[in-house]
Structure 1
Amino acid sequence: MVETMRAARMHEVGGPMRIDEVPRPTAFGSNVVVEVATCGMVPNLGNVLKNWPSWCPHLPQPELPAIFGLDPAGTVTEVGENVIGIRAGDRVYVSPVRSCGACPPCLDGKRTECRLMTFGGYFGFQEESQTLFDQYPHAGFGEFMLAPAYSLVKLPDNVSFEDASRLGYLGTAYSALKKAGHMGGKSVLINGGTGTLGIGAVLFALALGATKVMVTARNRELLARVRQLDPRRVHVFSTEEGSIQPWVRSLTDGGGADYVLDTLGAVASLEVMKDAMLSVRRGGRIVNIGGTAGEMAIDVKWLMDDQIAFVGSVWFTTAEGYEMVEMMRARIVDITGFEHRKHSLDEINEAINGVGSGDGGFTSYMVTPR
């Protein structure tokens, strides 16, 4: 008799999740089964569930009915016969990155650069992503999930499942800062720095040694709270007060920021993003990890003349996941003060609708399937 488990599944685009009894996965090959303790919910989740086919028809989602859930953490219960280094009982974070495993980027540990890179439980970047959805049909909104061993980050004892289920956007910010460059003694502008992505960027910029962290957003109350993370190094500015550029240059002797990190959300203004980009210094670097979409008029000769680098960054590698949890273990980065808003699996629809209702990036949202 096939064992079953409970999972929240979406049956139609934009429709409510239903709690279904589905077959419980079994481990095989280089895969493991994880009992999900918590699954984080990112602010963009509602948009992805309701609007993705119309917004991004070229980027597939799993065939419905499907289990979603991007940021799971839990305990390994079974390992496949080819798994080495992971054991039943290990506490882990499960990265949603799925890839072919055979191309040069995959073999180099850079699975986010794989042509077939797919977010399990979310969406894919190529038509062929459905193949990976079929191989790994489980995600964080179920009691158990099948996952490739390469996706696991083992958790130190003092890193909770609740904090681990925030790793997705923390890691997105961390990887972007590494792509920007060495942070020690540098200035960085974080545009949209009060949101889930932005708060992580501020914390890691400070941890990596940035001496001037300039944070822009609209909400003055949240900006004041961000400044308290390190009043000596964090400077804040509300975009409701005017242009970002003069403010940044006033803090950098007229030169501009060494690095600009844009973390604005999907419905943000391209003009605000551009204003931040133009605040970079000559020879500086701009990294985009936000959800702002559309065409922007940029003088490409400015990029050449001022030797400006513009980089896009998506998610993080498993190795970077290990770097982050080690920093969390040592309290070099401390997110234990974040508010946790937890919902049971039966409350999944209420949970999805409530994402973003808290205290900006200081609130973490999650589902506890068991």
Structure 2
Amino acid sequence: MMKAGILYGPRDIRYESMPSPNISREEVLVAVKAAGICGSDIPRYEKGTSPYNFKILGHECAGQVVKVGLDVQGVKEGDRVAVIPVLPCGKCPLCRVGKYSLCNNFIRMGTRVDGCFAEFIRILPQNLLKLPDTVDYESASLLEPAAVALHTIKRGKLNPGDLVVVIGCGPIGCLCAQFANILGARSVYVVDIVQEKLRIAQKVGIFKCINAKEEDPVRAILKENTGADLVVESAGSSVSFQQSISLSRKGGRIALLGLMGKDITIPERIYYTILHHELNLYGVYDTDWEPFPPFNSWKTALHFIAEGKIKVKPLISHRFKIEQISEVFSSISSQRERFNKVVFLF
């Protein structure tokens, strides 16, 4: 038996006992040591239902291998690992041409099968990355958002010397700004309406911070520049989308990462700016898994975390025991307290 945060319905998650997963000859059993809450976990918690048969949320985690199937090679008991939570089918037209991240039939922990807010998970060995000694479980639990951020910068086709603006300074926004910095941007601005998030950005080395409640970011940035080469829209609002368009130079690139909570309307002026300035808009969904494996983006992100070039610890605002999962989700959903990144410890 094991304990897990089991989702029973809308806003109803309980830490209870359930059977531990049984592994096949090809699978590995991992004891979860740290797991992060993703922003996408909250609407799933609030909705409480899914067309897929799963009861446990969570897809950002790291842990220790405690059992390996008889046919598993390259992984052994005791290995410290980060978990890559997605498995493409390998058979659909997109998989057949190597576009695994766009697979039509992917399986994902915490959205289509049981996730990692549990003491144990079963996983295929190719979905594990061994951790260097310099990376602890807590840091490794942020590898998934780091890989998403790196994928975002890749999708935005960052060039050395680019001026980059990141709108929305949550954990992934901060990670995008860090990757832009270390991959050659000449200048990186971050924009948010929450001063505490901007303070966190400064802790990870992003010093051109603009509080959009106090000054117009478009006016402030364009006062000294002709426009951004790359804008990362990580806030997910109508206002931030329009700011992304207004901040872009002619022919500029915009990586759309933020999740919109509702429909948005695009003013005619903004729409025609996209056309007349020939702006390039790139949708970003999750991260890339090409090739599958060895997950080059994930390995690159892990390397930068291990080297200390990507800082993840300052992004963590709260640490809780997994036993507190019910109260934590309730607090985040009701916005009784402001959270940045929340990590459960086991």
Question: Could you state the TM-score of these two structures normalised by the residue count of structure 1?
Answer: 0.81
Match of 1:154 among 126, 130, 138: 130
Alignment of 1:28-67 (within 5 A): 28-51=24-47, 60=50, 62-63=52-53, 66-67=55-56
Shift of 1:311: 1.0
Match of 1:263, as an amino acid? S
Match of 1:166 among 107, 118, 142: 142
Match of 1:277, as an amino acid? I
Match of 2:120 among 126, 139, 144: 144
The answer on whether the counterparts of 1:188 and 1:213 sit within 8 Å (CA) in structure 2 is yes
Match of 2:208 among 235, 242, 247: 235
1:285 counterpart residue number:
253
2:322 counterpart residue number:
345
1:98 counterpart residue number:
87
Q: Are residues 1:21 and 2:18 paired? A: yes
How big is each residue's C-alpha offset from its partner over 1:143-188, in whole Å with a ceiling of 9 and x where there is no partner? 1111123322221111111011122222221110111113421111
Match of 1:285, as an amino acid? R
1:275 counterpart residue number:
243
The answer on whether the counterparts of 1:100 and 1:106 sit within 8 Å (CA) in structure 2 is yes
Q: Are residues 1:244 and 2:250 paired? A: no
How big is each residue's C-alpha offset from its partner over 1:280-302, in whole Å with a ceiling of 9 and x where there is no partner? 11121111111124243266554
The answer on whether the counterparts of 1:257 and 1:280 sit within 8 Å (CA) in structure 2 is yes
- Decide which moves more: 40-49 or 138-147: 40-49
The number of residues matched between the two structures is 335
How big is each residue's C-alpha offset from its partner over 1:98-151, in whole Å with a ceiling of 9 and x where there is no partner? 321223543566432101234321x3xxxxxxxxx4xxx432111111112332
**Partner of 1:248: helix, strand, or coil?**
helix
Identify unmatched segments of 5+ residues in structure 1. Answer: 54-59, 124-132
Distance in 2 of aligned mates of 1:221 and 1:52? 30
Shift of 1:206: 1.4
**Structure 1's 143 and 189: CA in aligned 2 closer, same or farther, altered over 3 A?**
same
**Structure 1's 360 and 237: CA in aligned 2 closer, same or farther, altered over 3 A?**
farther
Match of 2:177, as an amino acid? V
Distance in 1 of aligned mates of 2:129 and 2:336? 29
1:57 counterpart residue number:
none
Distance in 2 of aligned mates of 1:221 and 1:344? 24
1:320 counterpart residue number:
297
Q: Are residues 1:260 and 2:220 paired? A: no
Distance in 1 of aligned mates of 2:324 and 2:35? 13
Q: Are residues 1:184 and 2:160 paired? A: yes
**Structure 1's 90 and 324: CA in aligned 2 closer, same or farther, altered over 3 A?**
same
RMSD: 2.6
Shift of 1:204: 1.5
Shift of 1:84: 3.4
The answer on whether the counterparts of 1:260 and 1:280 sit within 8 Å (CA) in structure 2 is yes
Give identity over the alignment, percent: 23
Shift of 1:49: 0.8
Distance in 2 of aligned mates of 1:104 and 1:143? 36
**Structure 1's 226 and 346: CA in aligned 2 closer, same or farther, altered over 3 A?**
closer
Distance in 2 of aligned mates of 1:358 and 1:185? 39
The answer on whether the counterparts of 2:234 and 2:256 sit within 8 Å (CA) in structure 1 is yes
Distance in 1 of aligned mates of 2:219 and 2:338? 28
**Structure 1's 81 and 204: CA in aligned 2 closer, same or farther, altered over 3 A?**
same
1:309 counterpart residue number:
280
The answer on whether the counterparts of 1:270 and 1:296 sit within 8 Å (CA) in structure 2 is yes
1:119 counterpart residue number:
108
The answer on whether the counterparts of 2:153 and 2:180 sit within 8 Å (CA) in structure 1 is yes
Match of 2:34, as an amino acid? T
